[in-house]
Amino acid sequence: MNFISLTPNEAKKLGKVAVLMGGTSAERAISILSGTGVLAALKSQGVDAHAFDPAERPMDDLRREGFARCFIALHGRHGEDGSIQGALELMGIPYTGPGVMASAIAMNKIMTKRVWRAEVLSTPRSRVLGPDEQVEKYIGKVPDELGLPLIVKPPHEGSSVGVTKVRSWSQMQEAVALAAGYDVDVLCEEFIDGDEVTVALVGEGMDIMALPVVRIVAPEGKYDLQNKYFTDVVKYHCPSGLPENEEKDVQRLAVAAYRALGCRGWSRADLIIRRADRKAFLIEMNTSPGMTSHSLVPIAARAVGLSYEALCGHLIATAALDPVGKGGKPAKNEQPGA
């Protein structure tokens, strides 16, 4: 695919742009970091861009103040889950990233795994603990089913919020309680020992491009919130250092996962390549990836010669609304119920 390069004239044609950042999720601080970077990148290219925090202003201000399109730099709930996308659809304001349905499904890791399994795409085995099952009787059975260690997480959070790597039965109750503090359901997932990798995806339909794989090396495998955003101890390898055929297999799996969820615009797939047999497993799809100084999509973009500023310019230039059909309207000579 060809990336759009913004000229001053094209930047002007975009009209007034809102960079949505902040919001009300547990990832608010990260969103502000992402949004601040995106805002500066767009302004540097002559885009009439402005910060907009939905936690502090009513969404209808976007319409009242004449915003023509939005760059969604929100992360987590009420920003990445289809709710903001739905509001923008109703107002007719194009936005970056996937539409309402894809955003809603991808934000729910339980539903995401169901879609991927239906498409026969590899993802770790898992067990969901509903509100009535978050008691010792059911919690104690999970390690027997999935083995140890295992991962316990809230299905609607990102940036490793509320995630625990459980190494013993004695840790299960506390891990479930932590995840349940963020979500109604708790997702328990088989732990895959191997290389953590991520694939940025851009475009839609048959015109989807998988950027180079980024391999993540964290100290003692601890790729948590603190190490992701607030330290420099994590190493990001791009080129990944993987064998060429392995990198291509990972990219193909990521593209299939992106298509299965109905994504468009851009997203980032996180995967783990099992050490024992080099099989790749899908972990999650991020439909509004981070754009901080530590973020992974800009690293992958640089590997193909695309600067942070150029990436932001391309994404806002390709902002869109969900495609619509005839809206169920009867044909000219057709009567409802005929």
Distance of alpha carbon 226 from alpha carbon 223, whole angstroms: 8
Catalytic residue among 77, 127, 215, 268: 268
Distance of alpha carbon 180 from alpha carbon 161, whole angstroms: 11
Distance of alpha carbon 234 from alpha carbon 222, whole angstroms: 9
Strand, helix or coil for residue 122: coil
Distances, alpha carbon 241 to alpha carbons 12, 159, 214, in Å: 41, 25, 9
Q: Give catalytic status of residue 267 as yes or no.
A: no
Q: Give catalytic status of residue 270 as yes or no.
A: yes
Catalytic residue among 22, 23, 25, 27: 27
Q: Give catalytic status of residue 284 as yes or no.
A: yes
Q: Give catalytic status of residue 229 as yes or no.
A: yes
Residues 6+ apart with CB under 8 A from 101: 82, 262, 322
Tokens describing residue 257:
């996962």
Q: Give catalytic status of residue 286 as yes or no.
A: yes
Distance of alpha carbon 45 from alpha carbon 18, whole angstroms: 15
Distance of alpha carbon 118 from alpha carbon 120, whole angstroms: 5
Q: Give catalytic status of residue 140 as yes or no.
A: no
Residue 334, strand partner residues: none
Q: Which DSSP category does 267 fall into?
A: E
Residue 221 amino acid letter: G
Catalytic residue among 183, 195, 270, 309: 270
Catalytic residue among 183, 185, 189, 284: 284
Report helix, strand and coil shares of the chain as percent, to nearest 5.
Answer: 35, 20, 45
Catalytic residue among 95, 182, 229, 308: 229
Roughly how many angstroms between the first and final C-alpha of the chain, as a whole number? 45
Q: If we measure between CA atoms, which residue out of 267, 318, 263 comes closest to residue 297? A: 267
Catalytic residue among 83, 286, 288, 295: 286
Catalytic residue among 37, 203, 265, 290: 290
Catalytic residue among 34, 126, 159, 267: 159
Q: How many CB atoms lie within 10 A of CB 202?
A: 25
Q: Which residues are the active-site residues?
A: 27, 159, 229, 268, 270, 284, 286, 290
